[in-house]
Chains A and B, each alone.
Chain A
């Protein structure tokens, strides 16, 4: 990749975490070393319970790792940062606010108000996500897929340098899921950011990411780090390429025959 010469944007060195602080208690995640370049899209796959969310929370600053360090542009992460946007598995919208107000909420919350320019950008992003007709609706009037898009738009509005997504599409049906994935790539292409994307779908990881981190089952550690050398822009045709199945097969081997490694 052309970015590799740059200093790593997000650097995890020797990161591990145990929820139970008693020494000797099991680790949820251990020995994670990963450098993510600026504007790189990294996906993380692994069996459920292997510590993917834990890893993401440590990058977000919501959770302080009990071992190792996470740093962003050389500065150690010791708490939540302004330049990080986060999207969870379930759309975490405030049910008492309209879609537009939900999107603008972080601004309103941070600065007490927002400008007409912010509102214009919100409308643009909503339009890009195909939601302009729903801007004044309440969240529960929208389908799950639409709500999730609103959550993504909200995370994008502050134009964060880092976008953290924890299984953002797993509650959606397969068709919506693929479409929303391509939409995300389009947005990412227009507003490049560093993305850490957690998923339990191997094909989704390969379809979207520049690199895929494969984690072992609990305690999660790195099994493999795979360079996805599929051309961009990716589309439904990408799936038909032989290279696509080669890459997904390689990941599947790790998941189904962890000892073969």
Chain B
């Protein structure tokens, strides 16, 4: 079957993974029904979809909480991360003194420090946000710092020939040059902010009105509401994909003139 559509690469790029997904779901549903799998062990896709529809109100509420923490953490990570990078490139000394602490923050498992943070920060939303920031900030710092530093030495010489101030060098050369790196960091960091928000909530295990998707998963587990557990999981995954797509779109918009990096994104 060789239709012209098959030869269209863009079509194949979407259709092929979609086809695999549908086949997988189909196989899953058939297997679950054929084996008469009890739904508290492994529900089929139809059962999960039903749970999503039936429980949309608490699920959406939880999604909202998780999204709020994710976005707060992401924004804070970007602001603080960029500020740290700008500080680092001011001098080799500052970078050498502080960068190890950024690494320290990166390598310490957030699960291990989350209980402490939850004790120190009263408000649950902020406690979760702090945990997520700790996870999300590193790619911003390391990418932006790398971008600000990796200026073509000849361009730098040329700017010296124009007798530029450090400030002009930063604004007219280093910052525009760092943008592709920054957006690369943004893409990784947005996903990490979501992971941070979810992981922190697993540790915090807060209930009540302010519970997010992670708590929903925990609670559904206790109650053996496995389809709902899967529905919550599905929402987390979809959020992650949406975030990633948003970042790709954002960086393509911002870097329209940066043909090379815009092309890289598509690969």
Contact = CB atoms under 8 A, between A and B. Distances in A.
Contacts of B172: 109
Interface string A80-124: 101010101110101111000000001001100000000000000
B56 to A, nearest CB: 45
A189 interface: no
Contacts of A79: 163
A77 B202 CA distance: 66
Interface stretch (B7-15, B77-85, B129-137, B150-158): B150-158
Q: Of B158, B168, B172, which is in contact with the most chain A CB atoms at under 10 Å from its CB?
A: B158
Interface stretch (B40-48, B101-109, B206-214, B254-262): B254-262
Interface residue tally on B, bucketed by range: 10 to 19
Given A92-B152, A96-B258, A110 B160 contact: no
Contacts of B152: 90, 92
B168 A88 contact: no
B161 A86 contact: yes
Interface string A50-75: 00000001001110000000000000
Contacts of B259: 138, 140-141
Nearest to B159: A109
B258 A106 contact: no
A225 to B, nearest CB: 27
A88 B157 contact: yes
Given A60-B161, A94-B176, A110-B162, A88 B154 contact: yes
Nearest to A106: B162
A94 B173 CA distance: 8
Interface of B: 152, 154-155, 157-158, 160-164, 168, 172-173, 176, 179, 257-260
23 contacts: A60-B161, A61-B161, A80-B160, A80-B161, A82-B163, A84-B161, A86-B157, A86-B161, A88-B154, A88-B157, A89-B154, A92-B152, A92-B154, A92-B158, A94-B173, A96-B179, A96-B258, A97-B257, A106-B162, A109-B162, A109-B164, A138-B257, A138-B259
